[in-house]
Amino acid sequence: MIELRDHALEFSFPEVHPRARCQISFQRTLRIPDDNQPYPLPAGLGRFPLHHVDDYYPRLPAAWAQHGGVFLPLYQSEALWLDLSFNRWLGDYPCAVKVATGKINAVSGDPWSDALRSGPQDYLITPEQKWLDGFAVGQGFIRQFVAMPLGAGFSAEEQLTRAAVHGGLQILVCPIKRAVFEVIQPQREAARQREVQYSYLPGFGDVMGDEGPTEMALSPGGLMRQQIERDPYGLDAWDQSAASRCFVHLVNSQTYAAITGQAPPHPPLTAEDYAQARMPWFEYYNENNYAVPGPAQLAGLDSVAALYIKKGVMLPDNKTVVPEWVINLNHGTKV
């Protein structure tokens, strides 16, 4: 079952276990400079508003009504990240999460498949993975999710398939098997008592479109230090028969206002704004696990700034900044 609660998707699997739940929200954030320098994690700036497609389908593309799901607004070249960190407060039940942008898996670079795959791993594990900011492009590195108009040639799908068919995201959540959970949970509870507890990056409130076509797609942006956590349980631990999938459509902010009658969020901060406000950056590295390697097909994608240069122009608001206030969130570190 999938519900929309407080602008977050809540997946629940009561047929598997009463505690089998997973919540995913979509956070506004700084678009880091796209200059091939690796940056720490920027803070969350509030959740994007989420709406049911069914509530607005006469004013939405026909394909959206067919797929259902939810939609959210994005400005052109705005960044977002997926927040998985709230799951520990929902009961800490392990779930496998597959994320695709335009039917391209953001972890493996492969075309979408409903099945979990382990060679290489093409899914995230919660609560070990607390967030996802972009496409996996190397061991411990991602390229930030940045919104660009579908059909403009920037998205991962368009670069890999030469077609602009699917925008937005697809998310599949699969709970761990009840029998596995009951075996591992006592040990996990003991480890949790020893662990510093936090809910990922501090938010700074809602900082509440644009030009181009209605539908948006996610493209690779700036380079960021973030690892994809290895599955510690193994492929057979997951109850794939109980998996649930949701489409998350992306609409540009100007069209969002016409569709919903609501004002879009405030335009996003630039990296220069962020630095001048002395807002924090974050480093996180799980020393008890190792990162999944980034696939070659995603590592070979052009970033938004690189494609702008190929078009003979420069990406606006792409000034290099120096992170001055960096907070370490590694395991065992008190913050």
pLDDT confidence bin for 334, thresholds 50/70/90: very low
Q: What's the total number of domains in the chain? A: 1
The secondary element (H helix, E strand) that includes residue 158 is: helix 156-161
335 in a structural domain: no
334 in a structural domain: no
Q: Dihedral through CA 203, CA 206, CA 210, CA 216, nearest 10?
A: 50
- Better pLDDT: 90 or 59: 59
Q: Please, which residues have CB within 8 angstroms of residue 63's CB and are 6 or more apart in sequence?
A: none
**pLDDT tens, 278-293?**
899 999 877 666 788 8
Q: Is the distance from CB of 289 to CB of 230 less than 8 angstroms?
A: yes
The secondary element (H helix, E strand) that includes residue 31 is: none
264 in a structural domain: yes
| Mean pLDDT (the chain, rounded) | 87
The one-letter code for the residue type at 58 is P
253 in a structural domain: yes
**pLDDT tens, 213-256?**
578 999 999 999 999 999 999 999 999 999 999 999 999 988 89
- Helix, strand, coil percentages (3-state) for the chain, rounded to 5, are 20, 30, 45
E strand map for 241-330: 244-252, 281-283, 326-328
- Domain that residue 81 falls in: 2-328
291 in a structural domain: yes
185 in a structural domain: yes
188 in a structural domain: yes
240 in a structural domain: yes
Q: Model pTM greater than 0.85?
A: yes
